[in-house]
A and B are shown apart, each in its own frame.
Chain A
């Protein structure tokens, strides 16, 4: 029995839902209100890895007795545990490519997309201090997650964070366009559709729909077509109907790297 636990249809949750559909795995969706994130996480407090995630609290995928987090590693887990149809190249170099790209997506792109999304979502929403304070004083969260929530709720459009996020969002759009040019498409790695298409799509889609925009950077031609190809996949259409896309504070921007 598979259950996808989320605190909203964030890019990470969307990516996992798509991968589950691609694998034709039926799953239950356990969606929590974002305000209830700590309480929802408490159900997993027995596992150190689940409460010390640097990506953020959710998504978490429960698979029987096993529970796994971190979007990119959930995707890898699904492909390891349910090999058909394969969503990674069969050769070692192709696998390296998937992992190197996923590293870029997780380390650079995801924090940027989340910050830009949080600015759109929370600016001017008058989030009461009381909500922010609840996150900031939540003992179950790590100090950096408390900070991430506090910062997102109190100062969602922080100037420095916005500048850094625009820079990285442009890197994301450039990278996708570059990979498609290099591989010749139709997918990021060429002929084979992989978990990297899924992960990158979840992050790039808001720029294609116009939900988010980034300074001085238009989404490229190849990227636009690739997004459209993604949207046509049955395994993508279904999860897109599971809920409104939302943004929540994700991994912090690297302090050093």
Chain B
């Protein structure tokens, strides 16, 4: 293998968009320098970080002097650039399917799930801070879309209508994934791929949201094949090594998941 410098990954908790390149790097057996960006302290909008990633989003990766953002595109880079197990099918149609599902997760299923999480968790966990500080934090966000997201989360401004729509979409996305997993062992077909990494980073939390958030989207009854698939992913040693970088935000026991009774 060509000697290549270690990449540096700027990430938050090993889930959602941050978890995607983390898990991909781990699956490729690439060692990397990890820089934890605490999203709830707004590290991602501080000048030090904006100098690295002007979009102010996490994750971002620097490799060979080049900055990359967009977690899904970073994952493809990781697979293309480093030796190790192939994480993209060679067959063009399967590769297309992998990309289709990643977009579905990134732009439909994931954002809906995220809106609910921000309303229930992100907003309340920063809301009680000094109002002037919060306003200054919001003003410092570079992307208009993220400014809106934070404003809504902090001031509790998600409408009942948009939350209901997000819930509907999480139910719909979960049903479609289930249908896909009835026919396929992995999301893009018969091989583990970036699409599994992508989907796992959003779906793993859903069985836990069934009761706490009254959102029964993924569970033994409704989506048995998804539950089996989750188990298959949890059994990969890379989940453990990736989650070891959590600073306490995940609250899920991997052994419990592996031993979960699926009836």
Contacts and interface: CB of A to CB of B under 8 A. Distances in A.
A254 B77 contact: no
A217 to B, nearest CB: 16
Interface string B77-112: 100110000000000110111011101100110011
Contacts of B145: 254, 256-257
Contacts of B100: 49, 68-70, 73
Which of the listed residues B64, B103, B162, B180 has the most CB atoms from chain A within 10 Å of its own CB? B103
A93 B81 CA distance: 8
Nearest to B99: A73
Given A103-B72, A106-B103, A255-B111, 14 more contacts: A48-B176, A66-B93, A70-B99, A70-B103, A73-B99, A76-B95, A76-B99, A92-B77, A92-B81, A93-B64, A93-B68, A95-B80, A99-B73, A256-B115
A100 B81 CA distance: 16
11 contacts: A68-B93, A68-B96, A70-B100, A73-B103, A95-B80, A96-B76, A99-B72, A107-B107, A255-B165, A257-B107, A257-B145
Which of the listed residues A54, A70, A95, A256 has the most CB atoms from chain B within 10 Å of its own CB? A256
Interface of A: 48-49, 52, 54, 66, 68-70, 73-74, 76-77, 80-81, 92-93, 95-96, 99-100, 103, 106-107, 142-143, 167, 251, 254-257
Interface in B89-141: 92-93, 95-97, 99-101, 103-104, 107-108, 111-112, 114-115
Given A54-B103, A96-B73, A99-B73, A76 B111 contact: no
Interface string B232-255: 000000000000000000000000
A254 B72 contact: no
B229 to A, nearest CB: 16
Interface size class of B (residues with CB under 8 A): 35 or more
Interface of B: 64, 66, 68-70, 72-74, 76-77, 80-81, 92-93, 95-97, 99-101, 103-104, 107-108, 111-112, 114-115, 144-145, 149, 162, 165-166, 168, 172, 176, 179-180
Given A70-B103, A256-B111, A99 B76 contact: yes
Given A254-B107, A254-B111, A256-B115, A77 B96 contact: yes
Contacts of B103: 54, 70, 73, 106
B73 A255 contact: no
Nearest to A61: B96
A149 to B, nearest CB: 17
A94 to B, nearest CB: 10
Contacts, number: 91
A256 B96 contact: no
Contact of B111 (A52, A73, A143, A257): A257
Contacts of B166: 255-256
Contacts of A95: 76-77, 80
Contact of A76 (B64, B96, B107, B179): B96
Contacts of A93: 64, 66, 68, 77, 81
Nearest to B70: A100
A77 B89 CA distance: 12
Contacts of A251: 107
B162 A255 contact: yes
Contacts of B172: 142-143
A77 B92 CA distance: 6
A93 B63 CA distance: 9
